[in-house]
Amino acid sequence: MSSQKSTFAVQTFASSYNCSQSVFSVFAPDFGISRDLSLRLAGPLGAGIARRQETCGAVTGALLALGLKYGKGENGTDEDKKRAFAVAQDFIQDFEAQFGSIVCLHLLDNNCMDTEEGAAAINKEDMFRTRCTKYVKFAVEKTEELLLR
C-alpha cells in the first residue's frame, strides 16, 4: 500500500536527494520543521552516513522522524527515552525482517560505492532505483504506522 508521503519521498529520492533526506523531509513539516531545514539536517546521513555505507539513510531518516514524536526533549522523562528506543527498535526489527539488514553496504550486495568496481556494479544493476527506492518507501510507510501509535 503506497501512501502520499511514500510517493513523495520516492520522488524526492529520484530528484537527487539522498535516502535520509527523502524520508525525513516528508515528516518534518508535520512537526513544524521546514522542508528546507529537514533536507539540510538529514543531508549528511545519506548513503549510510556520509557515504560510509553504515546505517542505511532510509533508516536514519525514519529514526529522526520518530524522534520528533517520541524523543526525550528538554522537559522529557526517562519514560520518553525508553519509549523512543522501543519504537526505534520496532522500526529496525521490521526493516531487518523485510530486507535482511540495516547496513547500506549489505543492502547493496557489499558493493562499496567509493570504489570503481563497487560503483560500476551498483550502476550496472541500477541499485539506487531498484533497491534504495524500496528502502525509502518501506521506511516511510513503517514510520507512518509507528507515528499513529
Cβ contacts of 78 within 8 Å, gap of 6 or more? 72
Would the pTM count as exceeding 0.85?
yes
What integer pLDDT is reported at residue 1 of this predicted model?
59
With contact defined as beta carbons under 8 Å apart, do 144 and 1 qualify?
A: no
Q: What amino acid is encoded at 19 in this protein?
A: C
- Listed in sequence order, the DSSP H helices in 55-77 are 57-70
What integer pLDDT is reported at residue 149 of this predicted model?
87
Cβ contacts of 114 within 8 Å, gap of 6 or more? 51
Q: What amino acid is encoded at 43 in this protein?
A: G
Domain boundaries, the chain: 4-147
Tens place of pLDDT for every residue, the chain, 149 residues? Answer: 578 999 999 999 999 999 999 999 999 999 999 999 999 999 999 999 999 999 999 999 999 999 999 999 999 999 999 999 999 999 999 999 999 999 999 999 999 999 999 999 999 999 999 999 999 999 999 999 999 98
What integer pLDDT is reported at residue 2 of this predicted model?
74
Cβ contacts of 67 within 8 Å, gap of 6 or more? 84, 88
